[in-house]
Amino acid sequence: MPKNHKELTKVVQEAVRHFWKTRERQAKAQGGKSGERDRGERSAVTGGAHFDGFAEAIRRLVVEAGLSDTAVHR
């Protein structure tokens, strides 16, 4: 578990960075195989994985708080 507010802020910043990078990457890549693109912002989120940074941050927090790593679904 982050020892202080500064460390927690860093964990959250990493998750937010992952979210936006994933959205951007997926928006650019969407339709690459089929040639068909979703409209609007949908293309950035239909690939999934954009919340993986937050899921990993939460997993780290609960494991560091004492929950067994094997008890956390990934």
Number of domains in the chain: 1
What are the pLDDT digits (tens) for 5-32? Answer: 898 899 999 999 999 998 888 877 766 5
pLDDT value of position 39: 64
What's the length of the chain?
A: 74
What are the pLDDT digits (tens) for 46-55? Answer: 667 888 999 9
Distance CA 13, CA 10 (A): 5
Distance CA 26, CA 8 (A): 27
Query: What's the pLDDT band for 58 if we cut at 50, 70, 90?
Result: very high
Distance CA 3, CA 21 (A): 27
pLDDT value of position 25: 84
Domain that holds residue 22: 5-71
